[in-house]
Structure formats: C-alpha cells, structure tokens
Amino acid sequence: MPIQFGCHGSTWELDYDKETDYLDHIIRVVKETGFQGIDVQVSLLGRFKNAPELLKAELDKHGVQLAALTLPFTWSHNEETEGERKLADYYMDYLKHFPGALMNIAPRVGPDREHLAERQRDIIQCANALAKRAHDQGIICCFHPSSPPTSYFRTEEDYKVLFEGLNARYIGYTPDAGHIAFGGMDVVEIFKRYLPMIKHVHIKDASFTPEWKTMGEGDIDFPQIVQILTEHGYEGWIMVEEETKESTADPDSAVGNIGTYVKKHLEPIVKGART
C-alpha cells in the first residue's frame, strides 16, 4: 500500500478514557476533508464498541478505512493482568473485521518516573507478549511512546532502552513527531534511526520550546519526514492530528486546515515518488 493520509481521533478527544459516541460524525469530517482513513482510541467507538460489523458498514458508506485502533495499557507488572489480556484479545478479534488495520498500543503515563528501569522493563515485556499473540493471529502491533513529563518513554535515553527491548519480529513502532519534539529529540534523526521499525506514523506540529502548534507553524520539518519515509519505501498510514487550544475548541476546522496543509505540502511528495 502506498503512503496514505488519515486522521487520529485525538484531535477530537485527547483523553483516552473519555468514552464518547460521535464516531459517525468524525468519519464524515474525515471524508469531507479528503483523508482516507482513521486511527481511533477505543474509547471513541461508542455504539460501535460491540458491533464491528456496524462500524465496517459506516466506514464503507463513506469510503473511509480503519487504519488502526489505539489501546492504552497500564502494564504495572511483568506480565499482563487478566483484564489487560482480555481487553487486548477482544480488540484483536475486533480488528479481524478490518483486514490491514493494526493495533496501536500506548502505555499509560505514570504518576512519576520512580523505579524507571523496572517500569520500562515490565512495559516492554508486556508489549512483546501482546504483540507475539497478535502476530500469531495476523494482527500487526505498534508501540506508541508519548511525552508527558512522567512518561516512561519520552527521552532519547528512554528510546534506546525501548528499541533494545522490543522484539522487532512481532512489534513495530509508531513515531509521533510532536511527542518526539516534546521529548527534546531531533525529530528527523529519530525517524531516520528507527526507520526499519516504523509501521505506522502520527504527525502533529510543535515548537521546540516546547509548545503545540498548528501544522506548518511549528518547528517540525514534515516535508523532510515524508521524503525520508518515501525514499525508504515506507508503505503505510500517516495519521495527522493537532493538540492546540484552537483544535480543542473546534476540531473539525482544525482537521480541515491540516487537510489543506497536507494537500499542498505533503501529498505532492508522495505522488512524485509514484511517477
């Protein structure tokens, strides 16, 4: 699959635990702004939570694809709890209704970074176990680090630990350009360094101060990132999102503005590589 652009649900809801029921509206906005797919946290599924066949029908009606589901996990032990395993297994079965869609796994942010090495080790071990189980069922998993101050994987040193521990045979990497910047790292360099692990991509803009920005107004070089992915032969999704005050107040308009940026600055790079 050549590179395609889609939207992540965090533009509409940043809280991965806040359950809502307007995914049909999100799908319509995604379609109207010219994107081809969605990646949504499972808390956004609403009426579709127990009815994947209904979600499939809704997506097909609008010509939109489910690119991924994002699941948050605490993983506070060196093995998945019964509840964590049950949740993961449920969404593995859910994703079987959407061939090609992957499971994006996001470790929850802790209250602090105490016992960091132990927490990192437990999270990596649980992620590898989940991903192996998913791989055996034909589901691709990707690990999505984040950047809040108490995140267990937010700095360059954390990333070294992460990628030394993840089993690349079973699990990929979802780089998030904004979180990389917030972690004080060189965004382009991180993309280059971990290219072989990248199976899914999230992009949102930020300054290096750091501060969230409207796409195209921050310090992240998105054209260079897309060029790097294209030259490497990346075939997958680039999911766009925004975390500014403006996008929180009016996510539909924010996605429309991002769509304009993508069409002008990023899609031509992908199309040029195809000719």
Q: What is the pLDDT of residues 14-29, one digit of tens each?
A: 999 999 999 999 999 9
pLDDT, tens only, 105-144: 999 999 999 999 999 999 999 999 999 999 999 999 999 9
How many CA atoms lie less than 13 Å away from 75 in the CB half-sphere? 27
| Mean pLDDT, rounded, of the chain | 97
Beta strands across the sheet bearing 141-143: 171-173, 141-143, 102-107, 65-73, 37-41, 4-8, 237-240, 201-203
Average confidence (pLDDT) over 84-93: 98
Q: Is the model's pLDDT at 173 over the cut of 80?
A: yes
Q: Is the model's pLDDT at 100 over the cut of 70?
A: yes
Cα separation values, 243 from 10, 84, 124, 205, 218, Å: 8, 28, 27, 8, 12
Q: Pick the more confident residue, 1 or 186.
A: 186
Average confidence (pLDDT) over 37-55: 98
pLDDT on residue 148? 95
pLDDT on residue 272? 84
Average confidence (pLDDT) over 141-156: 97
**Which pTM value belongs to this model?**
0.97
- Going by pLDDT thresholds of 50, 70 and 90, the confidence category of residue 275 is low
pLDDT, tens only, 159-172: 999 999 999 999 99
Average confidence (pLDDT) over 219-223: 98
Average confidence (pLDDT) over 254-263: 97
